Amino acid sequence: MIMGLEFLARVRKTSTWLGGVLALMAATYVSPMLGLAFAAGGLWSLFNLQLLERLVVSIIGPARTTPDGVRGAGMALMGMLVLLGAGALLLSLLSPMALLLGFLLPLAVIVLKAAAQLLLASRAWGALVRHPFRAAIAAVALSVVTWFALGALTSATAQHAPTPAEHSTPSEHGTPAPAEGEHAAEGEHASEGGGSQAFPNIIGLIVGANHGKPWADFLHHYEILVFSLFIALLLLLIAFLASRKPQLVPKGLQNGVEMVVEGLSDFITGILGPKQGPRFVPFLGTLFIYILSMNLFGLLPFMHSPTASLNVTVALALTVFVYVQFIGFKELGPLGWLDHMLGSPRDLTGWLLAPLMLPIHVLGELAKPISLSCRLFGNIFGEDMLLVAFASLGVTMLPFQALPFGIPMHALFFPLALLGSALQAMVFTVLSSIYILLMLPHEHHDEHGHEAGAQHAH
């Protein structure tokens, strides 16, 4: 029985990974709704197998006569009834064929694993792998057969595929009009960069399934805002869970969050100085974590990076701009802020240059949010388009392009995207810290410079 449970555990693990990869490929290269339906069918089947396993263990296991065994069997039966209702709902909303394929995936994994165990224990397999030359010939033959089989499958699919003319109807002037829903599909995948294609996300899938409904149009219009608020709520939940039951010796989530907070506190204090630095750690630390989370969110399947939109980056830059000016008025006063804008004239030459320094400083302050927003937007949007371009290249490199998968060339750039996302969040935070430092009184600058020099000499 233990061996059987271990076998089912391996089946669930393999089915989860394989189903996720196949669902992502179907959603990316075929249709987002087909990928969603395939994933839903696979999850439905995995839950069903889990409930069957629990029911069998409760009936024939050692605890079958105990209250826990009876309770486990009852819960498994109730779960199956709920799962049956969920399956009926999925059949009415999603593609039945894609659901069926996803449902059959764990069963196919069971059959293939059982066949693999029988094959590995057979004498023929032992004789094959005993000689490397014989095994290499078998591997090459299998690859060639698979290659031509996929090519034949693609040719058959291409012959039955509808032509573009079938998807359009002639207009009054004889020119083909776009098919219904074409503009909606373009709106789902077009980005702000001029119509470039992007990976599908969960909101695009929901909008595509409910096209024309007012709430779907509202959700599509505020897609970036929804992702931004969701990430903010997710960070709030993590902070709440980490600080709900604080321990003197932290561990787990609390330990990880405290390490991040301590690192950011030391980093920001090193820029602003130990006297004024702790005041701005909450604002600047939150800014770094929020921007980093939004940058990385687009690397998750069916998600989108809000910082790939100018709406978000401009809002963040304007927040920093207003906060910096508020610090200037608070620390320097209105006259001190004006003196700062005039270049702090203290002699005749300074006062003569003051009319020139004022517009220069004002333009410099106005250029700061533009620089912050455009730099962050350009880098994150460029990373997303790079991943999309190489994902498309991985598909076109195959000789049979109707297949719902390709060479995952974009995976090679994931480390670059991780590094770039962290670097852009750090650049945004460092520049914001420097802007605050420039607005603080000059006495603080001198003090910070002396402290830094003393530490360096020490």
pLDDT value of residue 5:
67
Taking residue 110's Cβ as centre, other Cβ atoms within 10 Å add up to: 17
Mean pLDDT confidence for 284-305: 91
Domain that holds residue 339: 226-457
Please check whether residue 284 lies inside any domain of the structure: yes
Q: Helix count (H) and strand count (E) of the chain?
A: 16, 2
User: Greater confidence, 161 or 359?
Assistant: 359
Hey, what are 438's tokens? 């420039």
Bridge partners (DSSP) listed for residue 177? 169
- 106-157 pLDDT, tens digit per residue, is 888 888 878 877 877 777 777 777 777 777 777 777 777 766 655 554 454 4
- 432-442 pLDDT, tens digit per residue, is 999 999 888 86
Contact (Cβ atoms closer than 8 angstroms) between residue 192 and residue 310: yes
Mean pLDDT confidence for 177-185: 42
Residue at token pair 């600047």: 284
Q: How far is Cα of residue 100 from the mean position of the Cα atoms in its chain?
A: 28
Final residue of a domain: which of 100, 121, 142?
121
- 235-258 pLDDT, tens digit per residue, is 999 999 988 888 888 888 889 999
Final residue of a domain: which of 58, 92, 121?
121
144 and 246 in a single domain? The answer is no
Please check whether residue 10 lies inside any domain of the structure: yes
State percent of the chain over pLDDT 70.
78
The band of 64, judged by pLDDT with boundaries at 50, 70 and 90, is low
pLDDT value of residue 427:
94
- 375-432 pLDDT, tens digit per residue, is 999 999 988 888 888 877 776 766 555 455 566 777 778 888 899 999 999 999 999 9
Please check whether residue 179 lies inside any domain of the structure: no
117 and 133 in a single domain? The answer is no
151 and 91 in a single domain? The answer is no
Hey, what are 455's tokens? 């530490």
Give the whole-angstrom CA distance, residue 405 versus residue 27: 10
pLDDT value of residue 397:
66
Can you spell out the DSSP letters for 206-244?
Answer: HHHHTTT-HHHHHHHHTHHHHHHHHHHHHHHHHHHHHHS
Mean pLDDT confidence for 341-362: 79
Compute the C-alpha angle 127/130/135, nearest 5°.
85
pLDDT value of residue 193:
41
- 13-31 pLDDT, tens digit per residue, is 888 888 877 877 777 667 7
Please check whether residue 221 lies inside any domain of the structure: no
Q: Is the confidence at residue 173, as pLDDT, over 70? A: no
Mean pLDDT confidence for 64-81: 73
318 and 303 in a single domain? The answer is yes
Hey, what are 305's tokens? 């990076």
Contact (Cβ atoms closer than 8 angstroms) between residue 48 and residue 60: no
110 and 152 in a single domain? The answer is no
Residue 98: name the closest of 27, 160, 150 by CA.
27
Please check whether residue 359 lies inside any domain of the structure: yes
- 213-238 pLDDT, tens digit per residue, is 888 888 888 889 999 999 999 999 99
316 and 395 in a single domain? The answer is yes
Burial class of residue 194 in the structure, from the number of CB atoms within 10 Å of its CB (0-12 exposed, 13-18 middle, 19+ buried): exposed
The band of 103, judged by pLDDT with boundaries at 50, 70 and 90, is confident
Give the whole-angstrom CA distance, residue 321 versus residue 436: 9
86 and 134 in a single domain? The answer is no
157 and 95 in a single domain? The answer is no
Please check whether residue 170 lies inside any domain of the structure: no
256 and 344 in a single domain? The answer is yes
Mean pLDDT confidence for 27-52: 79
The band of 171, judged by pLDDT with boundaries at 50, 70 and 90, is very low
pLDDT value of residue 69:
67
Q: Is the confidence at residue 4, as pLDDT, over 50? A: yes
Taking residue 154's Cβ as centre, other Cβ atoms within 10 Å add up to: 16
Q: Is the confidence at residue 100, as pLDDT, over 80? A: yes
User: Greater confidence, 354 or 323?
Assistant: 323
357 and 390 in a single domain? The answer is yes
The pTM for the full model equals: 0.61
Hey, what are 357's tokens? 């320094």
Compute the C-alpha angle 312/393/36, nearest 5°.
65
Please check whether residue 395 lies inside any domain of the structure: yes
148 and 297 in a single domain? The answer is no
Q: Is the confidence at residue 87, as pLDDT, over 80? A: no
Give the whole-angstrom CA distance, residue 96 versus residue 73: 30
**DSSP code, position 176:** E
Q: Is the confidence at residue 328, as pLDDT, over 80? A: yes
Mean pLDDT confidence for 199-206: 79
Count: domains in the chain: 3
Coil, helix or strand at residue 399? coil
pLDDT value of residue 183:
40
Lowest mean pLDDT among 71-75, 301-305, 333-337: 71-75
Give the whole-angstrom CA distance, residue 373 versus residue 367: 10
245 and 150 in a single domain? The answer is no
The band of 284, judged by pLDDT with boundaries at 50, 70 and 90, is very high
Please check whether residue 219 lies inside any domain of the structure: no
Coil, helix or strand at residue 177? strand
| Sign of the C-alpha dihedral computed for residues 429, 434, 439 and 442 taken in this order | positive
Residue 54: name the closest of 85, 15, 12, 17 by CA.
12
What does the mean pLDDT of the chain come to?
A: 77
